[in-house]
Chain A
Amino acid sequence: MSDAPRVFNRRTLVTRAVHVVAGAGALALSAAPARATPDMMSEAIRKLVGGAKVNEGRVTLDIPPLVENGNTVPLTVAVESPMTEKDYVAEIHIFNEKNPQPYLVAAYIGPRAGKAEFATRVKLNDSQHIIAIARMSDGSFWSDGADVIVTIAACVEISEQ
C-alpha cells in the first residue's frame, strides 16, 4: 500500500536494526569479555542515539524488581505518546549491563500501533540495571531504567537427567 507509514518502509527498518545489532556484536568481539559491562551498555546506547540527548521520562519500563528465575523475565515497555501520524513512537530499544551482549531487544512500532506498548520475556544472567530507550518520530530520545534482582533457582539439574 502506498500510504504505509513512513518509518515502516522495510528498508529503513532493517538497516537501522542491523546497525544496532552489528554495533553491539562488534563490541562483544573486540573486548571479548564473558559478559557485557556497564561501559559496553553505554557504548551500545551511544551507537543508537549518536550525540542526541536521552531524556528521562515518557517511558515506563515495567520489569519485576525481584525475579524468581533469570531464564524468563517478563518485561513491558509503555511510552506516552499521542500515536498520531505526526507524533508517534518509532522505536523502543532495551539494554542491559551484564549479559554477554548489551542489548536485549528492539521493537519498531509506528503510528498504526495506536498504543506504544509491547511486552516480551528475556534472560538475565545476574542482578543488574536495565534501560529502555524510545525514539520518537521527532527524533528525540526518552528513557526509563530499572534495577532487577535475579535469584538463583534451587534444585536444578546438575547433569543431563
Chain B
Amino acid sequence: MTRALVNVPARAKKGDIIEIKTLISHPMESGYRVGYGGEPLKRDIIQTFSCDYDGAKIFLAQFSPAVAANPFVSFHTVATASGKLVFRWEGDNGFEAEETAEIVVE
C-alpha cells in the first residue's frame, strides 16, 4: 500500500509564499545493491514528482536512484487562488500515486 502525506497550509493570504512538504512511502531501491543472498536487487525508484496548482505545474523534481527511501520533498509557492493542489509521483514498474490538498486563499 502506498501512503503519501502532503502538508499544505489550509488557508493563506493572496500573495503569501507558502511552504509545502511531502512524503511518500517507497523503497527507492537503487539497483546498485545486492540482497542478503547475494542476488542483485532490481532498480525500483520514483522518477518524477510534480505539483500542479492554479492552472500550471508549479514544481517538478527528477529523482535519481540516490534519493533516499520514502522520499521527502519540500518547496514553496505563491498562494494565488483557492483550489486544489495535485501532487503526482511516477516511477519504475508503472508506479503512480496522486494526492491532493485544498487551500483557501483570501
A residues near B (Cβ < 8 Å) are 1, 3-5, 8, 10, 13, 17, 20-21, 24, 71-74, 96, 99-101, 103-110, 112-124, 159-160
Task: Check A110 against B64 for contact (C-beta < 8 Å).
Answer: no
B residues near A (Cβ < 8 Å) are 17, 28, 30, 32, 36, 48, 53-69, 71-78, 80
Task: Check A105 against B77 for contact (C-beta < 8 Å).
Answer: no
Q: State the CA gap A16–B38 with chains docked (Å).
A: 37
A114 interface neighbour in B17, B65, B73, Cβ under 8 Å: B17
A101 interface neighbour in B36, B48, B66, B75, Cβ under 8 Å: B66
Task: Check A118 against B73 for contact (C-beta < 8 Å).
Answer: yes
Q: State the CA gap A118–B76 with chains docked (Å).
A: 7
Task: Check A121 against B67 for contact (C-beta < 8 Å).
Answer: yes
Task: Check B75 against A118 for contact (C-beta < 8 Å).
Answer: yes
> 6 closest A-B pairs (Cβ-Cβ)?
A1-B55, A114-B17, A4-B56, A114-B78, A121-B68, A115-B76
Q: State the CA gap A130–B81 with chains docked (Å).
A: 37
Additional A-B contacts beyond A74-B72, A116-B76, A121-B68 (11; CB < 8 A): A8-B57, A72-B69, A96-B66, A107-B60, A108-B60, A112-B56, A115-B76, A118-B59, A119-B72, A122-B68, A159-B36
Task: Check A110 against B58 for contact (C-beta < 8 Å).
Answer: yes
Assuming the contacts A99-B66, A101-B66, A106-B62, asked whether A120 and B56 have C-beta atoms less than 8 A apart, the reply is no
B16 → chain A closest CB, angstroms:
8
Task: Check A71 against B68 for contact (C-beta < 8 Å).
Answer: yes
Task: Check A160 against B76 for contact (C-beta < 8 Å).
Answer: no
Report 21 cross-chain contacts, Cβ distance below 8 Å, ordered by A residue. A4-B55, A17-B48, A72-B69, A100-B30, A104-B67, A105-B63, A107-B62, A108-B60, A108-B62, A109-B59, A112-B77, A112-B80, A113-B58, A113-B59, A113-B75, A113-B76, A119-B73, A120-B61, A120-B72, A123-B67, A124-B66
Assuming the contacts A101-B65, A114-B77, asked whether A120 and B71 have C-beta atoms less than 8 A apart, the reply is yes
Q: State the CA gap A115–B77 with chains docked (Å).
A: 7
Task: Check B62 against A105 for contact (C-beta < 8 Å).
Answer: yes
B23 → chain A closest CB, angstroms:
10
Task: Check A104 against B66 for contact (C-beta < 8 Å).
Answer: yes
A69 → chain B closest CB, angstroms:
10
Enumerate chain A residues within 8 angstroms of B80, measured Cβ to Cβ. 112
Enumerate chain A residues within 8 angstroms of B64, measured Cβ to Cβ. 21, 24, 101, 103-105
